[in-house]
Amino acid sequence: MSTSTSQEWAVVGGGVLGLTLAWRLAQRGHAVTVFERAPQLGGLASAWQLGDVTWDRHYHVTLLSDAHTRGLLRELRLEHEMEWVITKTGFFTDGRLHSMSNNLEFLLFPPLRLVDKLRLGLTIAGAARRTDWKRLENIRVEDFLRRWSGDRTFERIWKPLLRAKLGDRYTEASAAFIWATIARMYAARRGGHKTEMFGYVPGGYARVFERFGERLADAGVDVQLNADVAAVERDGAKHVVRMADGTRHTFDKVIVTTAAPVAAKLCASLSAPERDRLAAVDYHGIVCASVLLERPLADYYVTNLTDDWVPFTGVIEMTALVDRAEFGGRSLVYLPKYTAPGDPFTKLDDAEVEDRFLGALERMYPHFHRSQVAAFRVSRVRYVFPVPTLGYSQRVPPMRTSVPGLYTVNSSQIVNGTLNVNETVLLAERAAAELFG
């Protein structure tokens, strides 16, 4: 219900960020319309159909320490239903699968000598205690890790892990990237928990966004799906959201939550330097396969890979976390490959991706054969997260633009964290306080 001081707001993008902002606006008495291009809510966290199963398009887990995600789920009255599990981690290296789930397994891990392991442990413990991420932002991650862990551990462990997420762009990334990754790993222990646990809402993100949509409707938010925004233009003191189908809608204020380069294209009324700054944010993409299997591959939630012949960059076995009953008793595995723009891998068609990925699984897991695959589906996203290059925080586009009432809020503004729902909700809360607090 609008109050006398309420304004008409549009939010472009119906992902976690756009929906959280829409909700906060509605709670402050504003009239809100959300425009989402896809047929469903959720963006990167949305669900899709894999054979006869509905589950997340990309693997998603909530950490015990994800206070902001859990707070949002509490508001959606879903947090109390969450299932929490202690999961195991695997490492596939030199053609063999190892468990790396506790200190003893770490000490027995064959590819490294004892001295390498000590240095690796000290690197992680040291980074977990640091708070000076701004200083680390000016040191190349490779220099930082070679210095603290040594060349051998860098080549054998860190380099494959960095390449898994950043490809060859790891050479340009700053040490703040590994700092943020380690900080997330250690957040539970810092928060007083004995160990980290991974959690999920039964029904997955399909259920979360279904509930989010209902709560927004109850709060009077107009959520429009299949609503492809072509441009946001200025009309005197107002803003016009022009749709791809030619229709136009006028608002007092607009928040664009798409990835920064997309916002650069949509926000026609921004100055050239503002659009250049948004367009210059250098995003990494992903090709991510969901595979439904008759039998599990192993019992690790994440298996890290160090052998460079494997075409994907990790194995995430969702059923090491989620009850198999969610998938009709079968196992759900994700095979992600993070990609730089122009990576030839992004040009492969789905059949070729499937053939290469299943061929690699057959080589890695002797008991696996592609006849056990019940469904295989490929997701492709051009803009996933910005590459955390040196001095990144100096180049972050601001939320407030030179055009009164037009705001750009997006993942490029997560400066000292990795991309995850917790950071995204935190960004929404920060934007709400700054822009309409």
Alpha carbon 107 to its chain centroid, in Å, reads 31
Residues 6+ apart with CB under 8 A from 123: 145, 148, 149
- Name the minimum Å distance from CB 268 to ligand FAD: 13
Cα–Cα distance, 376 to 370 (Å, whole number): 10
Q: What is the secondary structure of 384-424 as a DSSP string?
A: EEE--BTTGGGGPPPSB-SSTTEEE--GGG--SS-SSHHHH
3-state secondary structure of 95: coil
* 151 in contact with ligand FAD (CB under 6 A): no
* CA terminus-to-terminus distance, the chain: 18
The one among 37, 239, 249, 330 contacting ligand FAD by CB under 6 A: 37
3-state secondary structure of 25: helix
**Residue window 220-259: x/- pattern of binding to ligand FAD, with contact defined by CB under 6 A:** -------xxx---------------------------xx-
* 386 in contact with ligand FAD (CB under 6 A): no
Instruction: Answer yes or no: are the C-beta atoms of 224 and 30 closer than 8 Å.
Output: no
Smaller CB separation from ligand FAD, 43 or 160: 43
Cα–Cα distance, 44 to 59 (Å, whole number): 10
The one among 12, 216, 348, 364 contacting ligand FAD by CB under 6 A: 12
* 38 in contact with ligand FAD (CB under 6 A): yes
Cα–Cα distance, 139 to 127 (Å, whole number): 13
Smaller CB separation from ligand FAD, 120 or 333: 333
Smaller CB separation from ligand FAD, 53 or 208: 208
Subset of residues 257 to 286 that bind ligand FAD, contact rule: CB under 6 A: 257-258, 262, 266, 286
Smaller CB separation from ligand FAD, 112 or 223: 223
* 197 in contact with ligand FAD (CB under 6 A): no
Smaller CB separation from ligand FAD, 38 or 97: 38
Cα–Cα distance, 108 to 102 (Å, whole number): 10
Smaller CB separation from ligand FAD, 340 or 390: 340
* 17 in contact with ligand FAD (CB under 6 A): yes
Instruction: Answer yes or no: are the C-beta atoms of 202 and 326 closer than 8 Å.
Output: yes
| HSE of 390, CA atoms in CB hemisphere, 13 A | 9
* 72 in contact with ligand FAD (CB under 6 A): no
Cα–Cα distance, 437 to 435 (Å, whole number): 6
* 424 in contact with ligand FAD (CB under 6 A): yes
Size, binding site for ligand FAD by CB under 6 A: 35
- Tokens at 415, concatenated: 């400066």
- Name the minimum Å distance from CB 384 to ligand FAD: 5
The one among 9, 23, 31, 35 contacting ligand FAD by CB under 6 A: 35
Smaller CB separation from ligand FAD, 154 or 251: 251
* 384 in contact with ligand FAD (CB under 6 A): yes
The one among 10, 21, 26, 45 contacting ligand FAD by CB under 6 A: 45
* 14 in contact with ligand FAD (CB under 6 A): yes
* 137 in contact with ligand FAD (CB under 6 A): no
- CA separation, residue 365 to residues 43, 94, 361 (Å): 32, 13, 6
- CA separation, residue 410 to residues 95, 262, 350 (Å): 40, 10, 29
- Name the minimum Å distance from CB 174 to ligand FAD: 20
Smaller CB separation from ligand FAD, 120 or 267: 267
* 59 in contact with ligand FAD (CB under 6 A): yes
Q: In what order do the strands lie in the sheet with 248-251?
A: 229-235, 238-243, 248-251
| HSE of 296, CA atoms in CB hemisphere, 13 A | 14
Which residue's beta carbon is nearest to the bound ligand FAD?
43
- CA separation, residue 130 to residues 152, 185, 388, 413 (Å): 24, 14, 18, 21
| Part of the chain binding ligand FAD (CB under 6 A), chosen from 8-16, 81-89, 175-183, 209-217 | 8-16
Smaller CB separation from ligand FAD, 296 or 336: 336
Where along the sequence are the contacts to ligand FAD (CB under 6 A)? 12-18, 35-38, 43-45, 58-61, 227-229, 257-258, 262, 266, 286, 288, 336, 384, 411, 419-422, 424
